[in-house]
Amino acid sequence: MERKIIRARLLSFLREPQTPDDTESFRYIEDGGLLIEGGAIRAFDDFDRIDRTGAEVIDHRPHLIMPGFIDTHLHFPQTQVIASWAAELLDWLNDYTFPEETRYSDPELCATMARAFLERLTDHGTTTAVAYASVHATSAEALFVEAHRRDMRLITGKVLMDRNAPDGLCDTAQSGYDDSTALIARWHGKGRLGYAITPRFAITSSPAQMEAAQALAQNHPECHIQTHLSENHAEIALSCQLYPDAVDYTDIYARYGLLRDNSLLGHAIHLSDREIGALAEAGAKPVFCPTSNLYLGSGLFNDNKLRAAGLCNAIASDIGGGTSYSMLQTLAEGYKVLQLQGQRMHPYRAFHWITRGNAVALGLVDRIGTLDAGSEADFVVLDAGATPAMALRMDRARNLMDELFTLQVMGDDRAVVQTYVAGRAQKAI
Ligand code: GUN
Ligand code: ZN
């Protein structure tokens, strides 16, 4: 079996950093080595301590290697929706996003865009994604095929939506159930792939479809569930009007058995204390989408309040409501959202969040999110001096924290020197 040693500075988290001085929460090795074999990390140590017998050495010094970034919420068929000029969420969906997603009934377009989409992710250092496909089974199929070809860890699902959208973008309760069941049978657990049961949100699913989603969830406890919750005020009002028996927006999903510990709830911005308590009780995972929330003017995610209630928050790009594939830019905007609420995001916590933190939120930390021996060999090579402006800032960097914060505030795909997926370099350099 091919053996490779990657030499660089290495950083990987052991647990979530509690304070800016919590240097015990990570392992940082100045001259480190990763031994890669069979798509997995076999050793994570000082370079000198690694057995180099029969191994090719790839030297990435002086760059910094971290686990590959994990994006827990984005939309495959919105690759060409980014930067569409809209007043707010519901206009943006109706005017740009729904018309664009209707194009994904075409398998050829899906195959072409699946390649472009996964390439954009790895160019930006993202090695695992949880993506919404379109309503068409063919879109999920194309994304699974392409991720499988790359041996990339990916969770996706065809969207369930049967109302309040154009005809070409609606399934039925029955066809959505049947298509999802067939996709789960074909793809869930195959290689590095997983299926997410994906009712888009309450507005676009009838009660009959919500019952179908509930049945899917019951039949497949191993599958993630993903949906949108409490993103903006007009969406909340319409959802509650469409489900008058529910006490609030969160209760709509609760009534259909869609809240559990592998449920991912995009946005979760305007929640009452009751709703926060219900999410905490279910162990569901709110997903913070800062570039999207600022771009669509949706609101400010209250990270501290949710954490204080015991919730484990994930973080994500939400392409194409989000404006960047970069999880570095996602952190930059996330930092500002929290600043506006008097909350501070320390760079150690930030980089924990997009690596091990999101892996924990997905229940996948035994496989991804760290450089620990036994993990899948997904990692990213970063250069904090990649642009002239970053290089000037780095001239005055004093320590690892300064380097990380420069990456977090100023970094994007230009700071990603290379991305490895299952031990294989993805970027042509
Ligand atoms: N709510 C329902 N669908 C979507 C979507 O595609 N993007 C965002 N940001 N919110 C949604
Ligand atoms: Zn979304």
Residue 23 C-alpha from the chain's centroid: 26
| Nearest residue to 289 (alpha-carbon basis) of 309, 314, 306 | 314
pLDDT at 416: 98
Q: How far apart are CA 35 and CA 158, in angstroms?
A: 37
C-alpha 93 – ligand 1 centre gap (Å): 7
- The closest residue, in CA terms, to atom 9 on ligand 1 is 321
DSSP track, 354-412: IIIIHHHHHT-TTTSSS--TTSB--EEEE-TT-SHHHHHHHHT--SHHHHHHHHHHH-S
Ligand closest to the CA atom of residue 160:
1
Ligand closest to the CA atom of residue 230:
1
**Percent of the chain scored above 90 by pLDDT?**
98
Q: Report, as an integer, the average pLDDT of 45-60.
A: 96
**Binding-site residues, ligand 1, Cβ < 6 A:** 75, 89, 93, 97, 200-201, 228, 231, 292, 318, 321
Contact 70, 330 (CB under 8 A): no
C-alpha 73 – ligand 2 centre gap (Å): 6
Where do the H-state alpha helices sit in 248-397? 249-255, 273-282, 290-295, 303-308, 327-339, 347-352, 358-362, 388-395
Please report the domains of the chain, with CATH numbers, ordered by start residue: 3-68+370-425 (2.30.40.10), 69-362 (3.20.20.140)
Determine the atom of ligand 1 nearest the C-alpha atom of 235: 1
C-alpha 281 – ligand 1 centre gap (Å): 25
ipTM of the complex: 0.99
Chain segment 241-264, per-residue pLDDT in tens: 999 999 999 999 999 999 999 999
- Residue 1: is its pLDDT beyond 90? no
Strand 263-267 relative to strand 224-229, pairing: parallel
For the four alpha carbons of 225, 145, 58 and 50, in that order, the dihedral sign comes to positive
Name the residue of 76, 93, 269 to mutate for ligand 1: max ligand atoms within 8 A of Cβ: 93
Residue 12 C-alpha from the chain's centroid: 18
pLDDT at 42: 98
Chain segment 128-149, per-residue pLDDT in tens: 999 999 999 999 999 999 999 9
Chain segment 189-208, per-residue pLDDT in tens: 999 999 999 999 999 999 99
Phi-psi category of residue 299: left, alpha or beta, with phi > 0 → left and psi -120 to 50 → alpha:
left
Indicate the SS3 state at residue 60: strand
Q: How far apart are CA 161 and CA 176, in angstroms?
A: 8
C-alpha 367 – ligand 1 centre gap (Å): 29
pLDDT at 134: 98
Name the residue of 200, 232, 291, 295 to mutate for ligand 1: max ligand atoms within 8 A of Cβ: 200
Tokens found for residue 255: 């009534």
Tokens found for residue 4: 């490779």
Determine the atom of ligand 1 nearest the C-alpha atom of 322: 9
- Residue 20: is its pLDDT beyond 90? no
C-alpha 378 – ligand 1 centre gap (Å): 28
Q: How far apart are CA 275 and CA 277, in angstroms?
A: 5
Contact 227, 214 (CB under 8 A): no
Determine the atom of ligand 1 nearest the C-alpha atom of 292: 9
- The closest residue, in CA terms, to atom 1 on ligand 1 is 228
For the four alpha carbons of 52, 56, 62 and 66, in that order, the dihedral sign comes to negative
If you average pLDDT over every residue of the chain, what do you get? Answer: 98
Contact 91, 395 (CB under 8 A): no
C-alpha 228 – ligand 1 centre gap (Å): 7
Determine the atom of ligand 1 nearest the C-alpha atom of 228: 1
How many C-beta atoms surround the C-beta of residue 400 within 10 A?
Answer: 17
Q: Report, as an integer, the average pLDDT of 369-381.
A: 98
Name the residue of 228, 238, 242 to mutate for ligand 1: max ligand atoms within 8 A of Cβ: 228
Determine the atom of ligand 1 nearest the C-alpha atom of 203: 2
Q: How far apart are CA 110 and CA 134, in angstroms?
A: 10
- Residue 429: is its pLDDT beyond 80? no
Where do the H-state alpha helices sit in 52-172? 89-92, 98-102, 107-123, 137-150
pLDDT at 428: 82
- The closest residue, in CA terms, to atom 8 on ligand 1 is 321
